[in-house]
Amino acid sequence: MPEPSRNTDPALAARNRNRWMLIGVVAVFVVPMLIAFALNFAGWEPKGSKAYGTLINPPRQVDAMPVTMAGGDKLVWRNPQWQWTLLALPGKNCAQQCRDALADLVRMRATLGRNAERLRLVYLGPSLPAEALAALAPLQAGSDDTNAFADLHARGDDGLALALVDPGGYLMMRYAEGYDLGGVRRDLPKVVK
């Protein structure tokens, strides 16, 4: 009597084929997730997702940090227009280099086009002459009443640093003195929408 072949049963072959298909379908979904988890764990970020500023982790709540504007009003962090706030934080003085950087910020804001209104520029530093401030419109001047942002100011005498506050009143990112304005310009459209 001939010995039966192990793979001659058509039902068994179909069941094995179905198992392999199921394993293949599961692998199509699970393997990319495992690769993504491994890349994330290793610290890899896709090209183009890099922020040019330094992320504040965890974000700092600034709602309770009073800032008095030049007109005497308090800065409302969560305003009805739901605006982002870019704080200009100079060193001890704001002379020519600092004022040039402020003018660059005003021009950079204009390049945001229709989203420019979603970003307000607030200067927190030594008082500027009225004519200099008028030339830098829409930059608004204010004072940090409690020195809550002292650690973010530029260290150089005539330098400028920046800090970005989201519409919910959280300090999200900082740009240290010597920042790349082009990098700031590339970061802003990602958030100011």
Domain layout of the chain by residue ranges? 1-44, 54-191
Taking residues 106-124, what's their average pLDDT? 92
pLDDT at site 118:
92
Taking residues 17-27, what's their average pLDDT? 89
pLDDT at site 159:
92
Entry pTM: 0.74
Annotation: CATH topology of 54-191: Glutaredoxin (3.40.30)
Taking residues 53-70, what's their average pLDDT? 89
pLDDT at site 142:
92
For residue range 91-113, list pLDDT tens digits in order: 988 889 999 999 999 999 999 98
152 in Cβ contact with 87 (< 8 Å): yes
39 — pLDDT class (breaks 50, 70, 90):
confident
For residue range 130-139, list pLDDT tens digits in order: 888 888 989 9
Has residue 1 got a pLDDT over 80? no
Taking residues 183-191, what's their average pLDDT? 87
Taking residues 19-25, what's their average pLDDT? 90
Which amino acid is present at 162? Answer: L
Has residue 4 got a pLDDT over 70? no
Has residue 40 got a pLDDT over 90? no
pLDDT at site 52:
83
Question: Which residues touch 155 (CB under 8 Å, ≥6 apart)?
Answer: 91, 177
Distances from the Cα of 122 to the Cα of 1, 9, 104, 144, 146, angstroms: 95, 79, 14, 11, 16
Taking residues 144-168, what's their average pLDDT? 91
